[in-house]
Structure 1
Amino acid sequence: MYLPTRHRQADVQAMQALIAQHALGTLVTHDGALPDADHLPFEFAEGGPHGLLRAHVARANPVWRRAGQQVLAVFRGPAAYVPPDQQEKAATGGRVVPTWDYHVVHVHGRLRAVEDPAWLLALLHGQTAHHEGPQPHPWSVGDAPPAYIDGMLRAIVGIEIEIERMEGKWKGMPQPIRAHDSTTHAT
Protein backbone atom coordinates (compact mmCIF):
# COMPACT_ATOMS: atom_id res chain seq x y z
CA MET A 1 0.00 0.00 0.00
CA TYR A 2 1.24 3.48 -0.81
CA LEU A 3 1.73 5.02 2.62
CA PRO A 4 3.00 8.59 2.87
CA THR A 5 4.37 9.37 6.33
CA ARG A 6 1.63 11.92 7.04
CA HIS A 7 -1.04 9.21 6.67
CA ARG A 8 0.78 6.44 8.57
CA GLN A 9 -1.13 5.13 11.58
CA ALA A 10 1.41 3.73 14.02
CA ASP A 11 -0.97 3.25 16.97
CA VAL A 12 -1.45 -0.54 17.20
CA GLN A 13 -4.43 -0.15 19.54
CA ALA A 14 -6.17 2.16 17.03
CA MET A 15 -5.62 -0.42 14.29
CA GLN A 16 -6.91 -3.23 16.50
CA ALA A 17 -9.97 -1.09 17.35
CA LEU A 18 -10.68 -0.57 13.64
CA ILE A 19 -10.53 -4.35 13.11
CA ALA A 20 -12.91 -4.91 16.05
CA GLN A 21 -15.38 -2.28 14.80
CA HIS A 22 -15.16 -3.27 11.12
CA ALA A 23 -14.62 -7.02 11.44
CA LEU A 24 -15.48 -7.95 7.84
CA GLY A 25 -12.04 -8.24 6.30
CA THR A 26 -10.90 -9.06 2.79
CA LEU A 27 -8.51 -12.00 2.88
CA VAL A 28 -6.20 -11.97 -0.15
CA THR A 29 -4.55 -15.28 -1.05
CA HIS A 30 -3.11 -16.81 -4.20
CA ASP A 31 -4.76 -19.80 -5.87
CA GLY A 32 -1.63 -20.72 -7.81
CA ALA A 33 -2.53 -18.75 -10.91
CA LEU A 34 -4.22 -15.57 -9.72
CA PRO A 35 -4.82 -13.57 -6.58
CA ASP A 36 -8.09 -14.44 -4.84
CA ALA A 37 -10.13 -12.62 -2.21
CA ASP A 38 -12.57 -13.87 0.42
CA HIS A 39 -14.65 -11.61 2.64
CA LEU A 40 -14.74 -12.95 6.19
CA PRO A 41 -15.70 -11.69 9.64
CA PHE A 42 -12.53 -11.88 11.71
CA GLU A 43 -11.81 -11.52 15.37
CA PHE A 44 -8.59 -10.16 16.82
CA ALA A 45 -7.06 -12.33 19.55
CA GLU A 46 -4.00 -12.06 21.74
CA GLY A 47 -1.13 -14.33 20.79
CA GLY A 48 2.17 -14.26 18.96
CA PRO A 49 4.23 -11.09 18.98
CA HIS A 50 1.55 -8.93 17.28
CA GLY A 51 -1.71 -10.80 17.80
CA LEU A 52 -3.84 -13.19 15.78
CA LEU A 53 -6.74 -12.92 13.37
CA ARG A 54 -9.27 -15.76 13.52
CA ALA A 55 -12.24 -16.68 11.36
CA HIS A 56 -13.95 -19.72 9.89
CA VAL A 57 -14.94 -20.74 6.39
CA ALA A 58 -17.12 -23.40 4.82
CA ARG A 59 -15.16 -26.61 4.35
CA ALA A 60 -16.12 -26.31 0.66
CA ASN A 61 -14.23 -22.99 0.41
CA PRO A 62 -10.74 -23.82 -0.93
CA VAL A 63 -9.09 -20.91 0.90
CA TRP A 64 -8.30 -23.02 3.97
CA ARG A 65 -6.29 -25.40 1.77
CA ARG A 66 -3.88 -22.51 1.18
CA ALA A 67 -2.53 -22.90 4.71
CA GLY A 68 1.12 -21.90 4.86
CA GLN A 69 0.73 -19.05 2.37
CA GLN A 70 1.71 -15.50 3.14
CA VAL A 71 -1.60 -13.62 3.08
CA LEU A 72 -2.98 -10.12 3.36
CA ALA A 73 -6.15 -9.20 5.27
CA VAL A 74 -7.59 -5.74 4.58
CA PHE A 75 -9.98 -3.92 6.93
CA ARG A 76 -11.64 -0.69 5.87
CA GLY A 77 -13.11 1.69 8.41
CA PRO A 78 -14.86 4.98 7.79
CA ALA A 79 -14.54 6.48 4.31
CA ALA A 80 -15.96 9.58 2.69
CA TYR A 81 -15.78 11.60 -0.51
CA VAL A 82 -14.45 15.08 0.24
CA PRO A 83 -15.47 17.79 -2.26
CA PRO A 84 -13.38 20.95 -2.61
CA ASP A 85 -14.62 23.54 -0.12
CA GLN A 86 -15.95 26.78 -1.68
CA GLN A 87 -13.97 28.94 0.75
CA GLU A 88 -10.83 26.91 0.12
CA LYS A 89 -11.33 27.32 -3.66
CA ALA A 90 -11.63 31.09 -3.25
CA ALA A 91 -8.59 31.29 -0.97
CA THR A 92 -6.38 29.24 -3.30
CA GLY A 93 -7.53 30.66 -6.61
CA GLY A 94 -9.26 27.38 -7.45
CA ARG A 95 -6.17 25.21 -6.92
CA VAL A 96 -8.00 22.42 -5.07
CA VAL A 97 -9.33 19.00 -6.06
CA PRO A 98 -11.77 16.55 -4.50
CA THR A 99 -10.38 13.57 -2.62
CA TRP A 100 -11.32 10.60 -0.46
CA ASP A 101 -10.68 10.31 3.26
CA TYR A 102 -10.50 6.82 4.73
CA HIS A 103 -9.08 4.61 7.44
CA VAL A 104 -7.67 1.21 6.45
CA VAL A 105 -5.56 -1.50 8.07
CA HIS A 106 -3.50 -4.10 6.19
CA VAL A 107 -2.51 -7.21 8.14
CA HIS A 108 0.25 -9.49 6.84
CA GLY A 109 0.91 -13.01 8.08
CA ARG A 110 0.86 -16.70 7.32
CA LEU A 111 -2.42 -18.61 6.99
CA ARG A 112 -3.07 -21.60 9.23
CA ALA A 113 -6.03 -23.98 8.97
CA VAL A 114 -7.62 -25.26 12.18
CA GLU A 115 -9.87 -28.34 12.18
CA ASP A 116 -10.05 -28.85 15.96
CA PRO A 117 -13.77 -28.87 16.98
CA ALA A 118 -13.04 -27.37 20.44
CA TRP A 119 -11.11 -24.46 18.87
CA LEU A 120 -13.91 -23.89 16.35
CA LEU A 121 -16.62 -24.02 19.02
CA ALA A 122 -14.73 -21.49 21.17
CA LEU A 123 -14.38 -19.22 18.11
CA LEU A 124 -18.10 -19.47 17.34
CA HIS A 125 -19.04 -18.73 20.95
CA GLY A 126 -16.75 -15.69 21.04
CA GLN A 127 -17.81 -14.23 17.68
CA THR A 128 -21.48 -14.84 18.40
CA ALA A 129 -21.28 -13.20 21.84
CA HIS A 130 -19.46 -10.21 20.36
CA HIS A 131 -21.90 -9.61 17.51
CA GLU A 132 -25.11 -10.69 19.23
CA GLY A 133 -24.40 -8.84 22.50
CA PRO A 134 -25.87 -5.51 21.32
CA GLN A 135 -29.02 -7.16 19.92
CA PRO A 136 -32.27 -6.72 21.90
CA HIS A 137 -32.67 -10.52 22.12
CA PRO A 138 -29.18 -11.96 21.62
CA TRP A 139 -28.86 -15.44 20.16
CA SER A 140 -26.21 -17.80 21.49
CA VAL A 141 -24.72 -20.98 20.10
CA GLY A 142 -26.42 -22.84 22.96
CA ASP A 143 -29.81 -21.80 21.56
CA ALA A 144 -29.40 -24.26 18.67
CA PRO A 145 -29.79 -28.03 19.11
CA PRO A 146 -26.43 -29.69 19.94
CA ALA A 147 -26.71 -32.15 17.03
CA TYR A 148 -27.19 -29.21 14.64
CA ILE A 149 -24.11 -27.41 15.99
CA ASP A 150 -22.08 -30.63 15.75
CA GLY A 151 -23.06 -30.93 12.08
CA MET A 152 -22.20 -27.28 11.44
CA LEU A 153 -18.80 -27.76 13.09
CA ARG A 154 -18.03 -30.60 10.65
CA ALA A 155 -18.93 -28.26 7.76
CA ILE A 156 -16.45 -25.50 8.66
CA VAL A 157 -12.71 -25.02 9.05
CA GLY A 158 -11.04 -22.39 11.18
CA ILE A 159 -8.39 -20.10 9.83
CA GLU A 160 -5.85 -18.18 11.81
CA ILE A 161 -3.27 -15.62 10.81
CA GLU A 162 -0.42 -14.84 13.15
CA ILE A 163 0.15 -11.17 12.52
CA GLU A 164 3.68 -10.49 11.30
CA ARG A 165 3.09 -6.90 10.26
CA MET A 166 0.27 -4.35 10.44
CA GLU A 167 0.04 -1.13 8.46
CA GLY A 168 -2.54 1.55 9.08
CA LYS A 169 -3.44 4.45 6.82
CA TRP A 170 -5.59 7.23 8.23
CA LYS A 171 -6.16 9.67 5.37
CA GLY A 172 -8.02 12.68 6.67
CA MET A 173 -10.81 12.69 9.19
CA PRO A 174 -13.70 10.88 7.49
CA GLN A 175 -17.13 12.44 7.78
CA PRO A 176 -20.38 10.63 7.01
CA ILE A 177 -20.64 9.80 3.32
CA ARG A 178 -22.73 12.35 1.46
CA ALA A 179 -25.63 11.54 -0.86
CA HIS A 180 -23.52 12.53 -3.88
CA ASP A 181 -20.90 9.93 -3.01
CA SER A 182 -19.71 7.99 -6.07
CA THR A 183 -21.43 4.81 -4.89
CA THR A 184 -24.79 6.47 -5.56
CA HIS A 185 -24.02 7.50 -9.15
CA ALA A 186 -25.12 5.36 -12.06
CA THR A 187 -22.21 4.21 -14.20
Structure 2
Amino acid sequence: MYIPRSFAESDRDVLHEFIERHPLGALVTASSEHGLYATHLPLLLDRGRGVFGVLQGHVARANPHHALAASGESALVIFSGPEAYVTPSWYPAKQEHGKVVPTWNYIAMHATGVLRFIDDRDFLMAHLDRLTDRHEASQSHPWAMHDAPLEFLEPLARAVVEIEITSLEGKFKLSQNRSDTDVHGVISGLDSSLSADDHAVANAMRERVRPNTPPR
Protein backbone atom coordinates (compact mmCIF):
# COMPACT_ATOMS: atom_id res chain seq x y z
CA MET A 1 0.00 0.00 0.00
CA TYR A 2 1.29 3.45 -0.87
CA ILE A 3 1.61 5.38 2.40
CA PRO A 4 3.14 8.86 2.48
CA ARG A 5 4.94 9.44 5.77
CA SER A 6 2.41 11.96 7.05
CA PHE A 7 -0.40 9.37 6.81
CA ALA A 8 1.50 6.35 8.17
CA GLU A 9 0.58 4.51 11.37
CA SER A 10 2.78 1.71 12.67
CA ASP A 11 1.81 1.52 16.35
CA ARG A 12 0.69 -2.08 16.87
CA ASP A 13 -1.82 -1.25 19.60
CA VAL A 14 -3.47 1.43 17.44
CA LEU A 15 -3.71 -0.98 14.50
CA HIS A 16 -5.05 -3.79 16.69
CA GLU A 17 -7.71 -1.46 18.06
CA PHE A 18 -8.65 -0.49 14.51
CA ILE A 19 -9.16 -4.16 13.57
CA GLU A 20 -11.33 -4.73 16.62
CA ARG A 21 -13.47 -1.68 15.80
CA HIS A 22 -13.73 -2.60 12.08
CA PRO A 23 -13.62 -6.42 12.06
CA LEU A 24 -15.01 -7.01 8.56
CA GLY A 25 -11.96 -7.77 6.44
CA ALA A 26 -11.37 -8.68 2.82
CA LEU A 27 -9.21 -11.82 2.73
CA VAL A 28 -7.27 -11.94 -0.55
CA THR A 29 -5.17 -14.83 -1.83
CA ALA A 30 -3.50 -15.42 -5.18
CA SER A 31 -2.31 -18.43 -7.13
CA SER A 32 -1.00 -19.04 -10.62
CA GLU A 33 -3.87 -21.45 -11.26
CA HIS A 34 -6.82 -19.52 -9.84
CA GLY A 35 -5.58 -15.93 -9.84
CA LEU A 36 -6.89 -13.54 -7.19
CA TYR A 37 -9.76 -14.55 -4.93
CA ALA A 38 -11.33 -12.52 -2.12
CA THR A 39 -13.70 -13.29 0.73
CA HIS A 40 -15.26 -10.64 2.97
CA LEU A 41 -15.68 -11.97 6.49
CA PRO A 42 -15.69 -10.80 10.12
CA LEU A 43 -12.46 -11.65 11.89
CA LEU A 44 -11.46 -12.11 15.50
CA LEU A 45 -8.02 -10.90 16.55
CA ASP A 46 -5.91 -12.76 19.09
CA ARG A 47 -3.39 -10.12 20.17
CA GLY A 48 -1.40 -12.54 22.30
CA ARG A 49 -0.20 -14.91 19.59
CA GLY A 50 2.80 -14.24 17.38
CA VAL A 51 4.55 -10.92 16.90
CA PHE A 52 1.59 -9.08 15.40
CA GLY A 53 -1.31 -11.31 16.44
CA VAL A 54 -3.47 -13.92 14.71
CA LEU A 55 -6.73 -13.41 12.80
CA GLN A 56 -9.48 -16.02 12.69
CA GLY A 57 -12.63 -16.15 10.61
CA HIS A 58 -15.28 -18.60 9.43
CA VAL A 59 -15.34 -19.72 5.80
CA ALA A 60 -18.77 -21.12 4.90
CA ARG A 61 -19.14 -24.54 3.31
CA ALA A 62 -20.44 -23.09 0.02
CA ASN A 63 -17.45 -20.76 -0.30
CA PRO A 64 -14.76 -22.31 -2.56
CA HIS A 65 -11.98 -20.21 -1.03
CA HIS A 66 -10.76 -23.10 1.13
CA ALA A 67 -10.33 -25.14 -2.04
CA LEU A 68 -8.60 -22.35 -3.97
CA ALA A 69 -5.96 -21.53 -1.34
CA ALA A 70 -3.69 -23.89 0.56
CA SER A 71 -2.38 -23.74 4.11
CA GLY A 72 1.05 -22.14 4.22
CA GLU A 73 0.31 -19.64 1.46
CA SER A 74 0.59 -15.89 1.91
CA ALA A 75 -2.58 -13.88 2.39
CA LEU A 76 -3.57 -10.23 2.55
CA VAL A 77 -6.43 -8.93 4.69
CA ILE A 78 -7.75 -5.42 4.02
CA PHE A 79 -9.65 -3.53 6.71
CA SER A 80 -11.43 -0.27 5.92
CA GLY A 81 -12.70 2.50 8.16
CA PRO A 82 -14.71 5.66 7.54
CA GLU A 83 -14.16 7.55 4.29
CA ALA A 84 -15.30 10.86 2.83
CA TYR A 85 -14.92 13.04 -0.23
CA VAL A 86 -13.18 16.36 0.43
CA THR A 87 -14.08 19.28 -1.84
CA PRO A 88 -11.52 22.05 -2.41
CA SER A 89 -14.28 24.52 -1.54
CA TRP A 90 -13.69 23.71 2.14
CA TYR A 91 -10.09 24.94 2.01
CA PRO A 92 -9.51 28.62 2.86
CA ALA A 93 -6.47 28.20 0.61
CA LYS A 94 -8.86 28.10 -2.35
CA GLN A 95 -9.58 31.79 -1.81
CA GLU A 96 -5.93 32.62 -1.17
CA HIS A 97 -4.23 31.05 -4.20
CA GLY A 98 -6.57 28.50 -5.80
CA LYS A 99 -3.90 25.77 -5.88
CA VAL A 100 -6.12 23.05 -4.45
CA VAL A 101 -7.75 19.91 -5.83
CA PRO A 102 -10.37 17.41 -4.61
CA THR A 103 -9.26 14.47 -2.51
CA TRP A 104 -10.58 11.65 -0.36
CA ASN A 105 -9.98 11.18 3.35
CA TYR A 106 -10.06 7.63 4.68
CA ILE A 107 -8.60 5.05 7.03
CA ALA A 108 -7.34 1.69 5.77
CA MET A 109 -5.18 -1.11 7.11
CA HIS A 110 -3.43 -4.08 5.53
CA ALA A 111 -2.46 -7.23 7.41
CA THR A 112 -0.33 -9.81 5.63
CA GLY A 113 0.53 -13.23 6.92
CA VAL A 114 0.55 -16.98 6.57
CA LEU A 115 -2.75 -18.73 5.93
CA ARG A 116 -4.04 -22.01 7.27
CA PHE A 117 -7.44 -23.69 7.36
CA ILE A 118 -8.70 -25.61 10.39
CA ASP A 119 -11.63 -27.95 9.79
CA ASP A 120 -11.72 -29.61 13.21
CA ARG A 121 -15.40 -29.59 14.24
CA ASP A 122 -14.89 -28.69 17.91
CA PHE A 123 -12.44 -25.90 17.03
CA LEU A 124 -14.86 -24.55 14.42
CA MET A 125 -17.86 -24.54 16.75
CA ALA A 126 -15.83 -22.90 19.54
CA HIS A 127 -14.76 -20.18 17.11
CA LEU A 128 -18.35 -19.56 16.00
CA ASP A 129 -19.35 -19.28 19.66
CA ARG A 130 -16.67 -16.65 20.29
CA LEU A 131 -17.51 -14.76 17.10
CA THR A 132 -21.22 -14.70 17.92
CA ASP A 133 -20.69 -13.69 21.55
CA ARG A 134 -18.39 -10.84 20.47
CA HIS A 135 -20.94 -9.27 18.14
CA GLU A 136 -24.12 -10.10 20.07
CA ALA A 137 -22.82 -8.55 23.30
CA SER A 138 -24.44 -5.17 22.57
CA GLN A 139 -27.89 -6.63 21.82
CA SER A 140 -30.67 -6.40 24.38
CA HIS A 141 -31.53 -10.06 23.74
CA PRO A 142 -28.30 -11.67 22.51
CA TRP A 143 -28.58 -14.61 20.12
CA ALA A 144 -26.41 -17.62 20.91
CA MET A 145 -25.31 -20.61 18.88
CA HIS A 146 -27.47 -22.98 20.94
CA ASP A 147 -30.56 -21.00 19.88
CA ALA A 148 -30.40 -22.78 16.50
CA PRO A 149 -30.64 -26.56 16.03
CA LEU A 150 -27.26 -28.25 15.69
CA GLU A 151 -28.45 -30.19 12.65
CA PHE A 152 -29.18 -26.82 10.98
CA LEU A 153 -25.80 -25.26 11.85
CA GLU A 154 -23.43 -28.10 11.02
CA PRO A 155 -24.20 -28.27 7.25
CA LEU A 156 -23.44 -24.54 6.99
CA ALA A 157 -20.04 -24.76 8.65
CA ARG A 158 -16.84 -25.62 6.84
CA ALA A 159 -13.59 -24.29 8.30
CA VAL A 160 -11.85 -21.60 10.29
CA VAL A 161 -9.29 -19.62 8.35
CA GLU A 162 -6.38 -18.47 10.49
CA ILE A 163 -3.81 -15.87 9.45
CA GLU A 164 -0.69 -15.41 11.54
CA ILE A 165 0.13 -11.76 10.87
CA THR A 166 3.68 -11.05 9.73
CA SER A 167 3.23 -7.33 8.93
CA LEU A 168 0.73 -4.55 9.59
CA GLU A 169 0.35 -1.32 7.61
CA GLY A 170 -1.96 1.51 8.56
CA LYS A 171 -2.93 4.53 6.49
CA PHE A 172 -4.84 7.31 8.25
CA LYS A 173 -5.30 9.88 5.47
CA LEU A 174 -6.96 12.71 7.37
CA SER A 175 -5.57 15.96 5.90
CA GLN A 176 -2.35 15.84 7.95
CA ASN A 177 -0.59 17.46 4.99
CA ARG A 178 -2.83 20.54 5.06
CA SER A 179 -2.57 23.74 7.08
CA ASP A 180 -4.47 24.26 10.33
CA THR A 181 -6.99 26.51 8.60
CA ASP A 182 -7.60 23.97 5.84
CA VAL A 183 -8.03 21.16 8.37
CA HIS A 184 -10.60 23.18 10.29
CA GLY A 185 -12.34 23.96 7.01
CA VAL A 186 -12.60 20.28 6.15
CA ILE A 187 -13.90 19.38 9.62
CA SER A 188 -16.52 22.11 9.38
CA GLY A 189 -17.56 20.95 5.91
CA LEU A 190 -17.86 17.32 6.97
CA ASP A 191 -19.84 18.32 10.05
CA SER A 192 -22.42 20.03 7.82
CA SER A 193 -23.04 16.82 5.86
CA LEU A 194 -25.92 14.42 6.42
CA SER A 195 -23.62 11.42 5.93
CA ALA A 196 -22.68 9.33 8.96
CA ASP A 197 -19.36 8.47 7.28
CA ASP A 198 -18.57 12.16 6.84
CA HIS A 199 -19.21 12.75 10.55
CA ALA A 200 -17.01 9.75 11.43
CA VAL A 201 -14.14 11.16 9.35
CA ALA A 202 -14.56 14.58 10.99
CA ASN A 203 -14.36 12.95 14.43
CA ALA A 204 -11.28 10.95 13.40
CA MET A 205 -9.64 14.21 12.28
CA ARG A 206 -10.44 15.77 15.65
CA GLU A 207 -8.88 12.83 17.48
CA ARG A 208 -5.82 12.38 15.34
CA VAL A 209 -4.99 15.59 13.48
CA ARG A 210 -6.32 18.37 15.67
CA PRO A 211 -7.03 16.94 19.15
CA ASN A 212 -7.84 20.40 20.51
CA THR A 213 -10.65 20.95 18.00
CA PRO A 214 -13.94 21.23 19.92
CA PRO A 215 -16.44 18.41 19.30
CA ARG A 216 -19.43 19.21 17.17
Instruction: Specify the TM-score bucket, using the shorter chain as the normaliser.
Output: 0.7 to 0.9
C-alpha displacement of 1:122: 1.5
2:94 to 89, 93, 105: 89
When you count strand as a share of all residues, which structure comes out higher? 1
2:119 corresponds to which residue? Answer: 115
The residue that corresponds to 1:12 in the other structure is 12
- Tell me, yes or no, if the aligned pair for 1:80 and 1:178 is still in contact at 8 Å: no
TM-score scaled by length of structure 2: 0.75
Q: Which runs of 5+ in 2 are unaligned?
A: 176-186, 196-216
Question: Quick check: 1:38 aligned with 2:39?
Answer: yes
Map of 2:148 onto structure 1:
144
**Alpha-carbon separation, structure 1, partners of 2:76 and 2:28:** 5
Higher mean C-alpha deviation, range 30-39 or range 7-16? 30-39
Task: Please give the secondary structure, in 1, of the residue aligned with 2:92.
Answer: helix
The structure whose RCO (Cα within 8 Å, separation 6+) is larger is: 1
Aligned pair 1:23/2:20, yes or no? no
Structure-2 change in CA distance of 1:132 and 1:11 (3 Å): same
- Residue number in structure 1 paired with 2:169: 167
Contact 1:64 1:112 in 2 (8 A): no
After superposition, the CA RMSD in angstroms is: 2.1
Separation (CA, whole Å) in 2 of partners of 1:86 and 1:29 = 40
SS of structure 2 residue aligned to 1:162: strand
Unpaired runs of at least 5, structure 1: 181-187
- 2:112–2:168 CA contact under 8 A, matched in 1: yes
Alpha carbons 2:30, 2:36 under 8 Å: kept? yes
For residue 53 of structure 1, what is the amino acid of its counterpart?
Answer: L
| Mapped partners of 1:41, 1:20: distance in 2 | 10
The answer for the alignment partner of 2:129 in structure 1 is 125
Deviations 1:130-177 (A, max 9, x none): 11111121101122223333444xx32110000000100111168579
Residue 9 (structure 1) shift = 0.5
Hey, what's the Cα distance between the residues in 1 that align with 2:75 and 2:54? Answer: 13
Inter-partner Cα distance in structure 2 for 1:139 and 1:2: 41
Q: Is the 8 A contact 2:61 2:155 kept in 1?
A: no
Of 24-33 and 69-78, the range deviating more from structure 2: 24-33
2 CA distance for matches of 1:56 and 1:105?
20
- Tell me the TM-score normalized by structure 1: 0.86
The CA distance in 2 between the partners of 1:118 and 1:50, in whole Å, is 26
Question: How many matched pairs?
Answer: 177
